[in-house]
A and B are shown apart, each in its own frame.
Chain A
Amino acid sequence: MVKNSGIRRAIRLWAPLFILPAFVCFVISFVIPFGQGIYLSFCEFNIPKDAAWSGMDNYTAAFADPSFGRAMLNTFLFAVVSVIVINVPAFFIAYFLSGKFKGVNLFRTAFFVPNLIGGVVLGYIWSMIFDGILRYFGTYLIASPVYGFWGLVILVAWQQIGYMMIIYIAGFQSVPTDMLEAADIDGATRSQTLFRVILPNMISSISVCVFLSLTNGFKLFDQNLSLTGGAPIKTLENGMQVNTTELLALNIYNTYGINRHWHGTAQAKAVIFFLIVGGVSLLQQYLTNRERKIKPAKHTDAKEGKQK
């Protein structure tokens, strides 16, 4: 332990070299923008320098903006739908592709490849494909918010199924072999093995993937921007315009783009957005910790189930 503190002292002497580059940059790109972002959400401003305190005005304006409500609704719907549409197929594809048969590596690659492509490019490719298909029906992608919404769901499922598949495959491969062999010897059927032996061992993979796709759904921006850009626009009775396929991230971005009087409102929306995404992360943290405490019990559960 004495030597232990020796090396600690030695590192501390060199601390600036070790920690300062990352820390200074972290302060520049995260700490300052974050603090300033919170502060500015209570101000009227064009650029950060000319900020004037305006209390809760921005938050009132944000909630009064119909486009924000629409984007909120779109985002919640989209996040929930995409979690299901991504995870169910990914789980079963991974179930089969964690086996060994001819071409399995090639198939895994095929499913994963969309993840290499950036969201903007994906949106471009898919808008071309959707328009190409809808042309046969005499219509086009941004003709209806329904097309835009489901188009985005299809795009994101196509992209992320391969990613979640990788995580699920890692999960399947870490199911203890002795449990599977025991199930086999005891004459468990394939579905019994899947639901009573494999599934209980997959809970942590499932929770990782569900939360990953949920936060991805909430934070989605690039694909939304380049697929429909929020179009089609609907004009309300009071003359306000609402982008019908806008998710929250894009709505915040577009609000900044209206004009300088909307900057404060956009920042307030961003803070609300942060609270939602942060809330989801906290929930995940809470559930993961609880799951870790329960886990040993689950293992014995699975073993008992198998012994019956």
Chain B
Amino acid sequence: MKRSTDPRTQSGGRDIRTIVFAALSLLWVIPIFTALINSFKTNDGIVRGIFSLPVGDDFAAGENYVSALTFGNYPFLKSFGYSVLISTVSTALIIICCSMAAWYIVRVNSVFSKVFYYLCLFSLAVPFQMLMFTLSSTAYRLGLDTPFTIPIVYLGYGAGMSIFMFTGFVRGLPYEIEEAAVIDGCGPVRTFFGVVFPMMSPIAISVGILQLMWIWNDYLLPYLVLDITKYRTIPIHVQYLKGSYGSVDLGASLAVIIMSLLPIIIVYAFCQKYIVKGIAAGAVKG
């Protein structure tokens, strides 16, 4: 901010800060590049030293990526598919159901909505370890232990944070617009989906991205809830690579990791602006 009024920085030419931060940024992404480079090396090459380039005998071309598809007693594409299914369906459910609930909580000022709101706030302070055993047994009893039903668990567990964020936003929405819609003959359902929800889209995107990132990377909840002999997500898949004793195929493991990073990097490239906004919005909660 101050800098914009500082004439020295408006030259646009070479700036000492550009050079310093270019070096620092390169240093910062080295771990990711190390993983990328080693995913193209043979296992012998990786063992010899992780900071050498994939050249000569060490170069494995795409072999690691081919074996990564079947490596680890579970097909990678299957865990990839389940991850996509679980995170997208859960996020969609959370956005729709929590925005509706938040609207109700704000507009209908009843004891019930107050209790629900404070329960949501309270749930933010409860660590997952407190719930993990009882949650997984409840989910098992109710048959929520498949990728098709686990979004219900995610909706319930993500509701605290999402409803908190949505209610904060709905409080700032003008009441008159809804009133006008009702006078024009809209029922609550049409008022919500036709008028209120479109106004909520900025916060809906922020909530959606925060939840999507969390669910995509979540390890413990699906591990405890799902029947992992049948269903695995990417984080479970990765954890099992390390857990499988005997000859660990390092190259293939790294190939799995690189492939698991691709979708999230692509999403980031398209939604960078919203991710940054979402963090600023979510940070209010702390």
Interface of chain A: mostly helix, strand, loop or mixed: helix
Q: Which residue of B lies closest to A252 (CB)?
A: B129
Q: Tell me which residues across on chain A come within 8 A of B132, comparing CB atoms.
A: 253, 256, 270
Q: Tell me which residues across on chain B come within 8 A of A278, comparing CB atoms.
A: 125-126
A165 to chain B, nearest CB (A): 10
Q: Are B138 and A96 in contact (CB under 8 A)?
A: no
Q: Which of B117-157 contact A (CB under 8 A)?
A: 119-120, 123-135, 137-139, 142, 144, 152-157
Q: Tell me which residues across on chain A come within 8 A of B24, comparing CB atoms.
A: 93, 107
Contact A118 B235, CB 8 Å, known A11-B188, A25-B97, A278-B126: yes
Interface membership of chain B positions 270-286, coded 1 if the CB is closer than 8 angstroms to chain A and 0 otherwise = 00100010011001101
| B59 contacts A by Cβ under 8 Å | no
What size tier do the contact residues of chain B reach? 35 or more
| B101 contacts A by Cβ under 8 Å | yes
Q: Are A4 and B242 in contact (CB under 8 A)?
A: no
| A297 contacts B by Cβ under 8 Å | no
B3 to chain A, nearest CB (A): 4
Q: Are A7 and B182 in contact (CB under 8 A)?
A: yes
Q: Tell me which residues across on chain A come within 8 A of B178, comparing CB atoms.
A: 7
A186 to chain B, nearest CB (A): 13
| B189 contacts A by Cβ under 8 Å | yes
Q: A116-B265, A222-B217 are in contact. List 17 more A-B contacts (CB 8 A).
A: A21-B93, A25-B153, A29-B135, A99-B1, A101-B9, A107-B25, A111-B28, A116-B268, A117-B32, A118-B216, A127-B242, A129-B34, A132-B51, A221-B129, A222-B220, A274-B129, A284-B286
Q: 3 closest Cβ contacts across the A-B interface?
A: A29-B156, A118-B217, A25-B156
The chain B residues found within 8 Å of chain A, CB to CB, are 1-5, 9, 12, 14-15, 17-18, 21-22, 24-26, 28-29, 31-32, 34-35, 38, 49-51, 93, 97-98, 100-101, 103-105, 107-110, 113, 116, 119-120, 123-135, 137-139, 142, 144, 152-157, 159-160, 163, 175, 178-179, 182-183, 187-189, 191-192, 213, 216-220, 234-235, 238-239, 241-242, 250, 253-254, 257, 260-261, 264-265, 268, 272, 276, 279-280, 283-284, 286
Could you show 29 A-B contacts with beta carbons less than 8 Å apart?
Answer: A7-B178, A12-B110, A14-B188, A19-B116, A21-B101, A22-B98, A26-B155, A26-B159, A29-B153, A33-B135, A37-B133, A47-B137, A99-B1, A99-B3, A102-B14, A107-B21, A120-B219, A121-B217, A124-B242, A167-B279, A170-B280, A170-B283, A177-B1, A181-B5, A183-B2, A226-B242, A270-B127, A273-B127, A274-B126
